[in-house]
Amino acid sequence: MAMFGRQRDVQLFNSVNQELIHDIIEQLVGYYKVMLNQTPANVYGEAQNKTYLGPILIPCLLVRGGTTQETDTFGPDTFRELEVRFWKDDLISANVVPEIGDIILWNNLYFEVDNTNENQLVVGKDPNYPYNSDVVPFGDSLSIILTCHLTRPEILGIEQQTL
């Protein structure tokens, strides 16, 4: 039986994360989720017009990339990457499963999710996949990290409404 990484230790990590993310950093992003049942696809399986649900405000940590400009035959274009690090408990509370194609709203900028990465395990164990009855209550999957790129709201069909 493993001595480290029991549920009490996981609770300690969770309390530190809760305090740090919710009370100290307090960084929020809006999360748009694609509604597949209201997003019709063409014969090729492509959806030209997507319908999104949201935004839902979720606390997170951000790693902001720099803005770069590229000019081609169609004119200048702006590129920017964003890494959004969610504490998994926040996603569970918000009932959100991140997937490629979802949209992140931050500072009135829209970012499309390119990749989701759930690979931060406390003491290297995920209690959802124990494969051994002794390690069931050990470890935890702590975070889901999304890699996103800047996109335009006109492409998404998301328009900001102001009163």
Partner 1 sequence: MINFNLFFNYVKRLERDNPVKAPFSGSNLISNMSNVPYNNPVYTQINAPGRYWIYEYTLAISKELLGYVRGKYSTVPIPGAEVTLNQDALITAATAEKVALIEKLRTELDEASRRNQLERRAAENVAMKTTLNEVPLPIFIG
Residue 82 contacts residue 110 (beta carbons within 8 Å):
no
Choose the stretch contacting partner 1; rule: CB under 8 A; options: 7-15, 29-37, 45-53, 93-101: 7-15
**Going by C-beta distance under 8 Å and a sequence separation of 6 or more, which residues neighbour residue 111?**
80, 82, 84, 103, 104, 105, 148, 149, 150, 151
- In sign, the C-alpha dihedral spanning 81, 84, 85, 91 is negative
Contacts of residues 61-70 at CB distance under 8 Å and 24 or more positions apart, as own/partner, are 61/21, 61/25, 61/27, 61/85, 62/27, 62/29, 62/106, 67/150
Say whether residue 142 binds partner 1 (CB under 8 A): yes
Q: Does 36 bind partner 1 (CB under 8 A)?
A: no
Q: Should residue 63 be labelled a site residue for partner 1 when binding is judged by CB under 8 A?
A: yes
Nearer to partner 1, 103 or 145 (CB): 145
Task: Examine residue 83 and tell whether it contacts partner 1 (CB under 8 A).
Answer: yes
Task: Identify which range of 31-39, 40-48, 104-112, 141-149 contacts partner 1 by CB under 8 A.
Answer: 141-149
**Stretch near partner 1 under the rule CB under 8 A, chosen from 30-38, 83-91, 94-102, 107-115:** 83-91
| 27 near partner 1, rule: CB under 8 A | no
- The distance of closest approach from Cβ of residue 34 to partner 1 in the complex, given in angstroms and rounded to an integer, is 23
Residue pair 87/120 in contact (Cβ under 8 Å)? The answer is: no
Min separation Cβ 143 and partner 1, Å: 3
List residues binding partner 1 (CB under 8 A): 4, 9, 12-13, 16-17, 20-21, 60-61, 63, 83, 85-87, 120, 122, 142-145
